[in-house]
């Protein structure tokens, strides 16, 4: 296989994973900011203690973390899984 095609395919896979991860991060960040603005004047401690902190709403914070982890670690994990599949396939051959 041509090396240019291999590099192009891997580059597109890497770019796709990073774009998806960053999209999840920025969408969750936007939703978290909207939530913070809406609940800025919450005067009841019960509302503040239910999955709410000074930095935002817990599910959105977890989504932001997932997005960044996907953007940073997504391709290495993908490459590792692909390597393991290739190694098993190679070892099975006689």
Q: What's the pLDDT at 89?
A: 93
Q: What's the pLDDT at 82?
A: 95
Assigned token pair, 48: 């503040």
Q: Is 66 exposed, middle or buried (0-12, 13-18, 19+ CB in 10 A)?
A: middle
CA distance 42 to 21: 32
pLDDT greater at residue 94 or residue 59: 59
**H or E segment to which residue 38 belongs:** helix 3-38
Over residues 12-33, the mean pLDDT reads 95
Q: What is the pLDDT of residues 39-90, one digit of tens each?
A: 766 655 545 555 566 667 788 889 999 999 999 999 999 999 999 999 999 9
Calculate the alpha carbon distances from 33 to 26, 46, 53, 54, 84 in Å: 10, 20, 13, 11, 41
Q: What's the pLDDT at 57?
A: 78
């Amino acid at each position: 296989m041509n090396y240019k095609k291999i590099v192009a395919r891997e580059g597109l896979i890497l770019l796709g994973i990073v774009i998806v991860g960053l999209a999840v991060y920025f969408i969750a960040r936007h939703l978290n900011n909207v939530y913070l603005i809406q609940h800025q004047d919450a005067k009841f401690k019960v509302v503040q203690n239910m999955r709410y902190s000074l930095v935002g709403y817990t599910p959105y914070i977890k989504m932001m973390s997932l997005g960044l982890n996907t953007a940073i670690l997504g391709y290495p994990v993908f490459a590792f899984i692909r390597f393991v599949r290739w190694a098993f396939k190679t070892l099975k051959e006689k």
